[in-house]
Amino acid sequence: MRVEARCITTRHLPLGNMVNLGKNTAIWLCGMGEEAARRAAIGLQAGGATTLISFGIAGALDPILRPGDLVLPESIYAGRSLPVSLGWRARIQQCLPSHLRVIGGILAASHQVLTSVAEKRELAKSTGACAVDLESGAVAEVAANSGVPFLAIRAIADTVEFSPPSALLDAVHPDGGAKLARILSLLLQRSVTLSTLLRLAAELRSARSTLSTVVLYAGMELGIQLHQDTTVH
C-alpha cells in the first residue's frame, strides 16, 4: 500500500510500475492482493531484479503478537512451504536495534483479508503460522520458481482479537488509500464506529514506525540508501 511504501521513500509512486531508487534498488507499489503482488514480482524481474522483498504490514495469528512487532519469517506458507533466504534474514536482524521485537516462524498467505478471530485461529491451526498477509506468498512463489533470494519484512498492524471490519473492505482504493465518502457513509450507518477507526489508525502507525526503523537501520542490507527523498516516520 502507499502508506507502506512511504516508509521507504517520500516520492509519489505510480500504482503498478517499477520505480528505481538508485543503482541497485527498485520499488513497485502493487496495491493489495496476491495477483497484484505476483504481477509486481514478475515485473521487477523483467526490469532486472535479482532478489525480491515483500515489505509491509501483516495481521497477527499468534495472540502474543502486538501492533509494531516485526515478523521476519523463516518460511512462507501459500498452499506449500516456500523458502526465505535465511542468511539474508540473519544479516537484517543483526542490524536492528534491541528495542524492536522480532519474531520468526511461518508467515501464511491468505486470499482475502481476515476479519474475525475465528478466521485467524483457523488459519493459525491449519498452517502453524504466526502472522498472515495477502502478498508475500505470491512474491515468494515467483522467487522460488525462478531461484532468486527472497525476504519478507512484515510489521504487525492488527492483533488476533481485533481485525478490520468487513464493512471497510470496499472503502479502500486499490493502493490502500481510504475512500473518505464511503467511510463517512459507514459511520453514519453505524456499520463501523469512530473508536474502531481510531484504533486501526493507531495500530497502523505502530506498524509503520517499525517498518521505518527497519529501513533506517538495515537499509544498506535492503539496497536502500537514505537520502533527501527518503524519510523515517
The answer to whether 151 touches 78, Cβ cutoff 8 Å, is no
Mean pLDDT of 134-152: 97
CA torsion 36→212→22→30, rounded to 10°?
10
> Which residues lie below 8 Å from residue 58, measured CB to CB, with a gap of 6+?
71, 107, 131, 132, 133, 136, 154, 155, 156, 157
Say yes or no to pLDDT of 184 above 90.
yes
8-23 residue pLDDT tens? 999 999 999 999 998 8
89-102 residue pLDDT tens? 999 999 999 999 99
199-224 residue pLDDT tens? 999 999 999 999 999 999 999 898 87
106-135 residue pLDDT tens? 999 999 999 999 999 999 999 999 999 999
Mean pLDDT check: name the lowest of 56-70, 172-186, 212-226: 212-226
CATH of 2-218, one of 3.10.20.30, 3.40.50.300, 3.40.50.1580, 3.40.50.2020: 3.40.50.1580
Q: Which of 31, 4, 12 is nearest to 173 (CA)?
A: 31
Cα dihedral sign for 82, 100, 4, 196?
Answer: positive
Q: Where are the domains of the chain?
A: 2-218
Q: Provide the pLDDT confidence category of residue 38 given band limits of 50, 70 and 90.
A: very high
Average pLDDT, the chain: 93
Say yes or no to pLDDT of 231 above 50.
no
Q: How far is CA 76 from CA 82, 87, 111, in A?
A: 5, 16, 14
The confidence score (pLDDT) of residue 23 equals: 83
Say yes or no to pLDDT of 42 above 50.
yes
Say yes or no to pLDDT of 230 above 50.
no
Quote the pTM value: 0.92
Q: Distance between terminal CA atoms of the chain?
A: 16
The confidence score (pLDDT) of residue 139 equals: 98
